[in-house]
Amino acid sequence: MPQPLKLGLFSINMYACSVPEVAAQVARAAEAAGFESVWGGEHVVLPDPQAPPSPMAPQDRALDPLVALTYIAAHTSRVRLGTGIIILPQRNPLVLAKEMASLDVLSGGRLICGVGAGYLEPEFRALNAPFEHRGPRTVDYIEAMRAIWTQPAPAFQGRYFSFAGVQSHPHPLQQPHPPIVIGGHSPMAFRRAVEHCNGWYGYALDLAATERCLDGLKRAAARYTRPAELGELEITVTPRGRIDAETARQYAALGVQRLVLLPPRGADAEAIARFAAHTGEQLAGVV
């Protein structure tokens, strides 16, 4: 029997939700409305002046997603906490693994670890992080994080990152580790999802773009070996445009299992809370 679509709410750390009281109010409203998860994106710095493909203006507010989600964890009890996404090759993977394990423990096992390779060269340059080879670097970092979370004597030897002879405790509460979800719409991103991750996340996709990406994932699955321990690849999409029950059913029919919805841009706390309540009621039980 088909499972109902999971609903997520995006930008819990951005714009109006960068104000603590607003973020807590919105997260509680999403939880009460039946949302399965809330998600926070990441840009450490933004180019000034704004330059394509940057989606945000230099002065747009965005809290660090892990800090913001830790705050949200303290103001909620059930809703899952997704990073959508953390730009992994800009981070030290062992530091990030410690931060994520800490959030998973503090939240009672509610973390969804969303990562991606990134695309905004000025941000990488400002952080003194290599922009080249960021895709394979992302794979190394994922596997380093998995090693420190799961191995009794953690060690990893990769092209871009290696470690051995250390421990990091506590491990995440979720076992063997929080689900790792990767973003990206390229053939290599699809391969990374198939070979290394529990889920895939497509951002700002209409139905046609979603179908193209899912076809790309199917081609990658036919070409590359998926480790059995990763299980079924869970599909998450932030849809482009307004969503009603019929449109949500069309996404589900394509194979989407979670829709992470964008509240109206520029909405205040009350408007976002109303959006969550209305959408939760409208889409409840949609398959």
Q: Looking at domain 6-283, which CATH architecture does it have?
A: Alpha-Beta Barrel (3.20)
Q: pLDDT averaged over consecutive 10-residue blocks of the chain (287 residues)? A: 88 97 97 97 96 92 98 98 98 98 98 98 97 98 98 98 98 98 97 98 97 98 98 97 94 98 92 94 86
The C-alpha atoms of residue 194 and residue 192 are separated, in whole angstroms, by: 6
pLDDT of residue 72: 98
What's the pLDDT score for residue 51?
A: 85
pLDDT in the model for residue 286: 87
Burial grade of 266 (CB within 10 A; 0-12, 13-18, 19 or more): exposed
Instruction: For the chain, give every domain's residue range.
Output: 6-283
pTM to 2 decimal places: 0.97
Tell me, what's the pLDDT at 1?
56
User: Do residues 200 and 236 make contact, with C-beta atoms less than 8 angstroms apart?
Assistant: yes
3-state secondary structure the chain: CCCCCEEEECCCCEHHHHCHHHHHHHHHHHHHCCCCEEEECCCCCCCCCCCCCCCCCCCCCECCHHHHHHHHHHCCCCCEEEECCEEHHHCCHHHHHHHHHHHHHHCCCCEEEEEECCCCHHHHHHCCCCCCCHHHHHHHHHHHHHHHHHCCCCEEECCCCEEECCCCCCCCCCCCCCCEEEECCCHHHHHHHHHHCCEEEEEEECHHHHHHHHHHHHHHHHHCCCCHHHCCCEEEEEECCCCCHHHHHHHHHHCCCEEEECCCCCCCHHHHHHHHHHHHHHHCCCC
CA atoms within a 13 Å half-sphere pointing along the CA-CB vector of 20: 6
Residue-wise pLDDT for 87-104, tens only, equals: 999 999 999 999 999 999
- pLDDT score at 76: 98
At 265 the pLDDT is: 84
Q: Output the pLDDT for position 52.
A: 86
